[in-house]
Amino acid sequence: MTALNILKYPDPLLKERCEELTEIDGRITAFIRDLVDTMRASPGVGLAAPQIGTLLRIIAVDVTPRHPGMGLVVLINPRIQSYGGGKTVREGCLSIPDYTANITRAATVTVKGVDPEGTEVELCSTGFEAVVFQHEIDHLDGVLFLDRIANVKIDLFRRKIKEL
């Protein structure tokens, strides 16, 4: 098990656009293990490759420790095919540990991507899990929740204590 260091804002790598993968080789499989191990070792429910310094389009999501969801999902080259509804949720980010913010996102998303075995998958997600997919896919385009705050004075909150 290898839990890697999570980059913190304002690390410039968090603002980069990540590259699509063209093949899944042993190096990628090992990287995915590290990505999942790092997520599991943290208090987060999702992690994107750039957060551990690798500019590739890979995300890991598992909200089930705290919310209903489909368990561990690892997606390569994920893209959102459709959005439905709207929902405002208090979001945090392992790369921005001192703040949370109210962010409005779609309530339902359909996400397409490739799983670690190389199979094309399409997933429909709702509720908190759908928000996490949108948050993690944003990381692949160098977008942080800070970039999506409607009104910094109203919607941004400094964490008072370390919430685990």
Active-site residues, by number, are: 136
Site for Zn ion contains 101 (CB under 5 A): no
Helices (H), the chain: 26-40, 127-140, 152-155
Check binding of 93 to Zn ion (CB under 5 A): yes
Residue with tokens 């921005």: 96
C-beta of 120: minimal distance to Zn ion in Å? 25
- List of E strands, 7-142: 46-48, 58-61, 73-84, 87-91, 99-105, 108-114, 120-126
Mask for 132-151, x = binds Zn ion (CB under 5 A): --------------------
Collapsing DSSP to helix, strand or coil, 152 comes out as: helix
Contact 3, 39 (CB under 8 A): no
- Least distance CB 46 / Zn ion (angstroms): 7
Contact flag: residue 63 with Zn ion (CB under 5 A): no
| Nearest to Zn ion of 7, 24 (CB atom) | 7
Nearer to Zn ion, 76 or 93 (CB): 93
For residue 106, the minimal CB distance to Zn ion (Å) is 17
Closer Cβ to Zn ion, 32 or 93, answer by number: 93
Nearest to 148 by CA among 113, 117, 106, 118: 106
Separation of alpha carbons 144 and 134, rounded Å: 11
**Nearer to Zn ion (CB atom), residue 76 or residue 139:** 139
Q: Judged by CB under 5 A, how many residues of this single chain contact Zn ion? A: 1
Closest chain position to Zn ion (CB)? 93
The nearest distance, CB 86 to Zn ion, in angstroms, is 20
Tell me if 14 contacts Zn ion by CB under 5 A: no
CA dihedral 29, 129, 2, 6 (to 10 degrees): 110
Positions in the binding site for Zn ion (CB under 5 A): 93
